[in-house]
Amino acid sequence: MHLFDLTGKVAVVTGGTRGIGLMMARGLLQAGASVYVSSRKPDAGEAAAAELSQFGRVASIPADVSTEAGCLRLAEEVGRSEERLHVLVNNAGATWGEPFATFPASAWDKVLDLNLKAPFFLTRAFLPLLEAAGTDDDPARVVNVGSIDGLHAPSLPTYSYSASKAGVHHLTRVLAKELGPKRITVNAVAPGPFESKMMAATLAAHGDEIAASSPLGRIGRPDDMAGVAVYLASRAGAYVTGAVIPVDGGRATTL
């Protein structure tokens, strides 16, 4: 089997209908996996599934994973069709920007519920399917999507977002220790700036400046995110767990 081949594997990508999640879903499909994409909006899910279907077997399951009940429902729905889940990508997320003096409590609740609590509750909900998929040589995989804003202090007033992503990075290490004996790896990807709905306004205003601040002189491209997803999901990444991998052109470690 090719080192990066995902033929026969099943993956779930939350927030998989746009941005980072869509990039990762496409990469997993191109490597041979079957992929379930999930988002709150059924129409967005169907549109993404139609776009991705050219690359492989893909289906959309609408779910609101900001609540534990929503996480359990998503796992139950996948479990109706699959006996095993080889790859869980916890990507669904939200941000909120507001000055320190007026930053509201609701911004903490909304962002932490989706960015930090959802990866925990989703991983727990999918645990039986992940355990069924994992082997000593080829563990099941959990990939959490963090951010370089969780590695360094951000320039924008996104207090709950950056704190939540730093929490995701450490939760990744904690779960790697917890789930390793169950033949499940847990890693995080910390993206820098990529073209996405979340980044659209920032890139429109400061895109050239942001690109120039990277040692590689550009923002991320879809293949950059697809590639790291395939690496972590494939046999190539079978001995990697508890890692936080920046995919940012060097910004987090050089700015």
Give the model confidence (pLDDT) of 208-246 as tens digits.
Answer: 777 788 888 888 899 999 999 999 999 999 999 999 999
Q: Any idea what DSSP says for residue 113?
A: I
Q: What is the pLDDT of residue 121?
A: 98
Residues with catalytic roles: 161
Q: Average pLDDT in the 40-61 region?
A: 97
Q: What is the pLDDT of residue 252?
A: 83
Assign 193 a pLDDT band (cuts: 50, 70, 90): confident
The DSSP line for 185-233 is EEEEEEE-SBSSTTTHHHHHHHHHHHHHTSTTSS-B-HHHHHHHHHHHH
Q: Is pLDDT at 198 greater than 70 in this prediction?
A: no
Q: What is the pLDDT of residues 91-142, one digit of tens each?
A: 999 999 999 999 999 999 999 999 999 999 999 999 999 999 999 999 999 9
Instruction: Give the Cα separation of 26 and 53 in Å (integer).
Output: 9
CA dihedral 111, 112, 113, 116 (to 10 degrees): 120
For the chain, how big is the Rg over CA atoms in Å?
Answer: 17
| Cβ–Cβ under 8 Å, residues 192 and 183 | no
Helices (H) and strands (E) in the chain, counts: 10, 7
Q: Average pLDDT in the 27-51 region?
A: 97
Assign 200 a pLDDT band (cuts: 50, 70, 90): low
Q: What is the pLDDT of residue 108?
A: 98
Q: What is the pLDDT of residue 197?
A: 66
User: Closest Cα partner for 92 from 72, 109, 111?
Assistant: 111
Q: Which two tokens stand for residue 141?
A: 């995989």
Q: Model-level pTM?
A: 0.94
The DSSP line for 25-91 is HHHHHHTT-EEEEE-S-HHHHHHHHHHHGGGS-EEE----TTSHHHHHHHHHHHHHH-S---EEEE-
Domains and CATH numbers, the chain: 10-254 (3.40.50.720)
Q: Is pLDDT at 254 greater than 90 in this prediction?
A: no
Q: Is pLDDT at 207 greater than 80 in this prediction?
A: no
